[in-house]
């Protein structure tokens, strides 16, 4: 590969993503959970009354019903969430709620996430962090 490509913004973003994912997965592995599972757990934790539906999780993750079902099943096996089938608008719906154990894991993950973010932004001033955040948001919005 030509060295000039190493400074391409897309290439740099991809390499940063890969490094971050590797570190995040190492942290999550110590908690016994995957990245997809923690995303669902945080989504449920932040939902109104700390509960949501499987359909809303599917929409959030942008994945298929079977994939979401598998993630939910594994979280339930770990006693991080609980599910319940309910009748809503004449249709069956799977409600998903976080457990105390799930809330504790979210808190632990938040502390780990903050440490990791501090580690890779420690050389930036607060203004620099805000500028970086704004630029990344603009890139993201343009891609959506």
From first to last of its 144 residues, the chain has per-residue pLDDT tens of: 456 677 898 899 999 989 888 888 888 888 889 889 999 999 999 999 999 999 999 999 999 999 999 999 999 999 999 999 988 788 888 999 999 999 999 998 888 888 888 888 999 999 999 999 999 999 989 987
Instruction: Look up the domain containing 59 and give its range.
Output: 3-143
Q: Is 80 helix (H, G, I), strand (E, B) or coil?
A: coil
CATH of the domain at 139: 1.10.10.10
pLDDT at 2: 57
SS (H, E, C) 35-63: HHHHHHHHHHHHCHHHEEEHHHHHHHHCC
Burial tier of 71 (Cβ tally within 10 Å: 0-12, 13-18, 19+)? buried
pLDDT at 60: 95
Question: 83 and 94 in contact (C-beta within 8 Å)?
Answer: yes
Q: How far apart are CA 11 and CA 38, in angstroms?
A: 27
Structurally, the chain folds into a number of domains equal to: 1
């Amino acid at each position: 590969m030509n060295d000039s490509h190493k400074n391409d913004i897309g290439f740099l973003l991809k390499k940063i993503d890969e490094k971050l994912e590797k570190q995040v997965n190492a942290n999550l592995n110590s908690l016994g959970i995957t990245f997809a599972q923690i995303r669902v757990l945080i989504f449920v934790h932040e939902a109104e009354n700390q509960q949501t539906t499987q359909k809303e999780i599917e929409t959030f993750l942008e994945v298929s019903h079977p994939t979401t079902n598998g993630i939910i099943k594994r979280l339930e096996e770990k006693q991080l969430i609980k599910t319940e089938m309910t009748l809503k608008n004449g249709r069956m719906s799977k409600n998903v709620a976080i457990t105390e154990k799930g809330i504790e894991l979210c808190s632990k993950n938040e502390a780990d996430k903050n440490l990791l973010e501090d580690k890779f932004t420690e050389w930036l001033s607060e203004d620099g962090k805000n500028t970086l955040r704004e630029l990344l948001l603009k890139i993201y919005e343009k891609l959506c």
